[in-house]
Amino acid sequence: MDGSDQRGCSDSRISGTHVNPGVSGSTPHNSRRIALIPVVPGDAHGTLSVSAVPLSFWGGFDPASGKVMDVHHDLCGQSLAGRVLVMPFSRGSSSSSGVLLESIRLRTCPAAIITQTAEPILAIASIIARELYGRWVPVATVSKDDMALLQNGCAVDVRISHDAGEMLIQEGT
Amino acid sequence: MQVRLTEEEEHALSGHRGEALRLAMTIVVELGSLYGAERLIPVSQAHIDGCLYSAVGEAGADFATKLASLGARVAVPTTLNITARDILNWQEFRIPPEHSENSRRVEDAYLEMGCIPTWTCAPYQYGIVPRCGDNIAWAESNAICYANSVLGARTNRYGDLIDICCAVTGKAPEFGLHLKDNRMGEILVAFDVPVDAFDDDSLYSAAGYLAGEVAGSRVPVITGIPRCASPDNLKAFCAAAASSGPVGLLHILGLTPEAPALGTAFGGRTPREEVRVGLADLLAAAGRLDAAPAAPGGVNASSVVPDGANAESGKPGAVDLVVMGCPHASYMEVERVARLLWGRRVREGVEFWVLTSRTVAGLVSRSGLGAMLRDAGVRLCCDTCILQFPLEAWHVASIVTNSGKMAHYAPSMIGCRTYLRGTVACVDAALTGEVTWRGRQ
């Protein structure tokens, strides 16, 4: 238990009528689908860490531990390692690219980052990590309405190709 | 999206002009491709933030040394942001030798590539200053915001390591804030605050912090900021806005070049949202920057009961480090500290550090202020920032600063109680060892 909101993922608001057309391919019967707009392609699986507060990776995240350290942030003290991080946008330091890159090197990085607007600072770490280490953090954007449906603690699969993306939320997680 | 490249750019990308240029060009083109840029554009200069070992770590060191060892050279004038130590006086600041050595490795890689050793986060004051309308590739959030907003130059919020790729190629992908259409205001933030409230210069920081919170990822147009705001006031404003939000560009009516009138700033469009800010809101924002470190277990700052100076108790709080110069202090800011201190000494047991560039330190030394400040007990810390090297040896429990940016980051990064106060109150705290609550309001 990490203190995050664990309201469960079978919220009735996540229903077929809210689901936007995603990438082609079948959706497993017991999951719901949210459309994503690709920024950095890649696939990921993880548990959602959702916050309405933007995060600066520099000064707000410790790449050695993978934990949020920004005292102004509601996820402060929680680990983002292997999590699918959802927030409206990033903020603050341009050194965030470097911090995120270092966390990719140390394998303490989020599994994927989903925002409403994804500025280059987030994408740059992934572009360079792919060149240096052959692994990276997929990045995509999500609509404000769909973001409101995402809850802490849900297990999700993220699939982002060059021209489409989707998040599959596993029911009952 | 395919970025259309010139023949020369294609040559660089294919490796015909060397592996270093191929690597840098690959990354620039990839960024352009992800963000839908149709082409690359020349930049007149670059500012590098990736030279900071304490941020980029071994990954950033790997990348810089790889580029340098491949023979990369910058193609445009390229200034350097702060590094992780005072290069000449790291021992005075009790920086561990290992940390200093790690920092040096990264510094050397960037110098080898032909960057200019400015080592400052305020390159727009003592560096290579771009013209209005110039396309540039700058990193460092405060410098980006200042260059776009106050100077009218054009840069995206470039992060560590893409900065050097743009410098080596001399190019940036044309998207975002390089394009005029994306530079128009989207939200109006109207300050309705008595002009003399800004006599407390930390309220420029608080105003910027609030504007960044409100604007989020939108371009704000700000009204009600005193016309007499100095470049240093605007520096504080931009730095705070780029801390609370991802603000790369803001317009201040009557003060910044793209906002001579509201209509111009909004590109003829009507703002979709208007936010009015009164003195109480501004003081509340300043109050949010008086923060405690996170308690064990990650409790939010706001939930921690303040143990120091606050309006409720009226009690002063003890302070053991006064820190000014975030972003790096200008000559005028250092001079103001010297004038306020004139003839007096910093209280025993209190440290007073002014962060600045080696360039300003040189001016301070030659003007005679350097000796005066040293005698008063003020240390000039050059090339770096106190958030970039271990402070354990100083046992800092609480700091006071006139910078909203410093106040935002210090509780998380140093783990100390932090107070935001104006320059006068900061100097007073250095003399008394105590910071008083904001009594005026």
Residues A150 and A50: their CA atoms lie apart, in Å, by: 7
Tell me what percent of the residues of chain A surpass a pLDDT of 90: 78
* Nearest-angstrom CA–CA distance, B401 and B420: 5
Q: How confident is the model at residue B439 (pLDDT cuts 50, 70, 90)?
A: low
CB contact under 8 A, B217 and A92: no
B103 lies in some domain:
yes
Question: Is the CB of A94 less than 8 angstroms away from the CB of B292?
Answer: no
Grade residue B291 by pLDDT with cuts at 50, 70 and 90: confident
Chain A residue numbers touching B299 (CB-CB < 8 A): 76-77
- In this structure, are B160 and B230 located in the same domain? no
Residues B103-109, mean pLDDT to the nearest whole number: 98
Please count the residue pairs, one from chain A and one from chain B, whose beta carbons lie less than 8 angstroms apart: 176
Same domain, B175 and B283: no
- Same domain as B158, residue B189: no
Catalytic residue among A65, A93, A103, A161: A93
For residue A62, the chain B residues in CB contact (below 8 A) are: none
**Hey, is the C-beta of B408 within 8 angstroms of any chain A C-beta?**
yes
Instruction: State the pLDDT at residue A22.
Output: 43
Report whether pLDDT(A55) > 70: yes
d(CA A137, CA A123): 8
Residue B195 lies in a domain: yes
- Does a structural domain hold residue B297? no
Confidence of residue B343 (pLDDT cuts 50, 70, 90): confident
Residues A126/A90, Cβ–Cβ less than 8 Å:
no
The whole-angstrom separation of Cα B242 and Cα A62 is 20
Strand partners, A43: A159
Contact B158 A124 (CB under 8 A): yes
Peptide bond into B327 cis (omega under 30): yes
Which site among B62, B70, B142, B162 would you substitute to test the A interface, given the most A Cβ atoms closer than 10 Å to its Cβ?
Answer: B162
Q: Say what the pLDDT of residue B308 is.
A: 55
Distance in angstroms (rounded) separating the CA atoms of residues B19 and B16: 8
CATH topology of domain A28-170: Glucose Oxidase; domain 1 (3.50.30)
pLDDT score recorded for residue B306:
46
Percentage of residues in chain B having pLDDT higher than 70: 94
B274-290 per-position pLDDT tens digit? 999 999 999 999 999 98
| Residue B202 within a domain | yes
Q: Is the Cβ–Cβ distance between B224 and B190 less than 8 Å?
A: yes
User: DSSP of B243-289, one letter per residue?
Assistant: HHS--S--EETTTSTT-SSHHHHTTTPPPSEEEEEEHHHHHHHHHHT
Residues B131 and B243 in one domain: no
Which pair of structure tokens corresponds to residue B54? 């304490």
User: Under 8 Å CB-to-CB from A117, ≥6 apart: which residues?
Assistant: A88, A89, A141, B217, B246
Q: Do residues B162 and B207 share a domain?
A: no
**B154 in the same domain as B61:** yes
Instruction: Say yes or no: B188 and B200 in one domain.
Output: yes
pLDDT attached to residue A1: 38
Same domain? For B175 and B32 the reply is yes
Q: Do B217 and A39 touch (CB under 8 A)?
A: no
pLDDT digits (tens, 9 = 90+) for B205-259: 999 999 999 999 999 999 999 999 999 999 999 999 999 999 999 999 999 999 9
Residues of chain B numbered 61-90 and touching chain A (CB < 8 Å): 62-63, 66
Residue B79 lies in a domain: yes
Residues B21 and B170 placed together within one structural domain of the fold: yes
3 state SS of B364? helix
Lowest mean pLDDT among B52-61, B195-204, B429-438: B429-438
**Looking at the domain assignment, is residue B87 inside a domain?**
yes
CA triple B37-B42-B46, angle to 5 deg: 105
DSSP B310-334: -TTT---EE-SEEEEEEEEE-HHHH
Q: Is residue B306 part of a domain?
A: no
Say how many C-beta atoms besides its own lie within 10 A of residue B153's C-beta. Answer: 25
* For residues B126-142, average pLDDT: 96
Domain shared by B282 and B250, yes or no: yes
Secondary structure (3-state) at A89: coil
pTM of the model: 0.92
The rounded mean pLDDT for chain B is 93
Q: Looking at B150, B180, B210, which one is the last position of a domain?
A: B180
Supply the pLDDT for residue B317: 87
Active site residue A93: yes
Mean pLDDT of A152-158: 96
Instruction: Give chain A positions within 8 Å (CB) of B25.
Output: none
Q: Does A25 touch chain B (CB under 8 A)?
A: no
Range of the domain at B343: 313-435
What phi and psi values does residue B152 have, to the nearest 5 degrees? 75, 10
Say what the pLDDT of residue B350 is.
Answer: 97
In chain A, whose CA is at the least distance from the CA of B301? Answer: A71
Per-residue confidence band for B149, with pLDDT thresholds at 50, 70 and 90? very high
Q: Which residues of A touch B243 (CB under 8 A)?
A: 56, 91-93
- B1: confidence class by pLDDT, cuts 50, 70, 90: low
Residue A90: beta bridge partners? Answer: A55
> Is the confidence at residue A19, as pLDDT, over 90?
no
CATH number of the domain at B320, please. 3.30.499.10
Distance, C-alpha B98 to centroid of its chain? 26
**How far apart (Å, rounded) are the C-alpha atoms in residues B232 and B376?**
23
HSE of B34, CA atoms in CB hemisphere, 13 A: 26
Does position B311 have pLDDT exceeding 80, yes or no?
A: no
- The CATH number that applies at residue B84 is 3.30.499
Domain count, chain B: 3
**pLDDT given at position A31:** 80
134-173 in chain A: CB under 8 A from chain B: none
Q: Per the CB < 8 Å rule, is A58 touching B156? A: no
Domain assignment present for B126: yes
**What band does B80 get if pLDDT is binned at 50, 70 and 90?**
very high
Query: How much is the pLDDT for A171?
Result: 78
Q: What integer pLDDT is reported at residue B296 of this predicted model?
A: 46
ipTM of the complex: 0.89
User: CB distance A94–B157 less than 8 Å?
Assistant: yes
Half-sphere exposure of A145 (CA within 13 A, CB side): 9
How much is the CA Rg of chain A, to the nearest whole Å?
15
Q: Least CA distance to B297: which residue of chain A?
A: A77
Mean pLDDT of B415-440: 90
- Hey, where are the domains in chain A? 28-170
pLDDT at B438: 73
Q: In 3-state terms, what secondary structure has residue A32? A: strand
Same domain, residue pair B199 and B330: no
**Are A69 and B294 inside 8 Å of each other by CB?**
yes
Q: Report yes or no: A168 and A32 within 8 Å, Cβ to Cβ.
A: yes
Interface of B with A in 339-378 (CB under 8 A): none
Looking at every residue in chain A, the average pLDDT score rounds to 86
Q: What is the pLDDT of residues B348-390, one digit of tens each?
A: 999 999 999 999 999 999 999 999 999 999 999 999 999 999 9
List of chain B residues whose C-beta atoms are within 8 Å of the C-beta of residue A121: 157-159, 246
Q: CB within 8 A of B67, min separation 6: which ones?
A: B20, B23, B24, B109, B113, B164, B168
